[in-house]
Amino acid sequence: MNSCVTLPGYENARITPMGERAWMIGTSYQSVEIQRDSLADKTIVTPVFVVARRKGLTERIDYGTYFSSGAGVYGDLKIRFLGSNLSTFSLATGLGLGTTGFIGPNASYRSIIPLYTSWHLSDRFSFYFSPQASITWSNRENRFLKSWIMTGGIELGSRRRFVFNVSYSDNFGIDAGVGQAIDFGIAYKFSGLQKTLFLPKR
Q: Is 202 inside any structural domain?
A: no
Q: What is the CATH number of the domain that holds 74?
A: 2.40.128.130
For residue range 45-103, what is the model confidence (pLDDT) as tens digits? Answer: 778 888 999 999 999 999 999 988 865 888 999 999 999 999 999 999 999 998 876 66
CB proximity list for 114: less than 8 A, separation 6 or greater? 8, 11, 76, 93, 94, 96, 130, 131, 132
pTM: predicted TM-score of the whole model, two decimal places: 0.82
Name the domain count of the chain.
Answer: 1
Question: What pLDDT is attached to residue 110?
Answer: 87
For residue range 7-32, what is the model confidence (pLDDT) as tens digits? Answer: 557 899 999 999 999 999 998 887 77
Band (144; pLDDT cuts 50, 70, 90): confident
Q: Is 90 inside any structural domain?
A: yes
Give the SS3 label for residue 92: strand
CB 139 within 8 A of CB 133: no
Q: Is 178 inside any structural domain?
A: yes
Please choose, from the candidates 96, 100, 94, 99, the residue with its C-alpha nearest in 3D space to the C-alpha of residue 111: 96
Paired residues of 82 in beta bridges? 91
Domain that holds residue 165: 7-191
Q: Is 198 inside any structural domain?
A: no
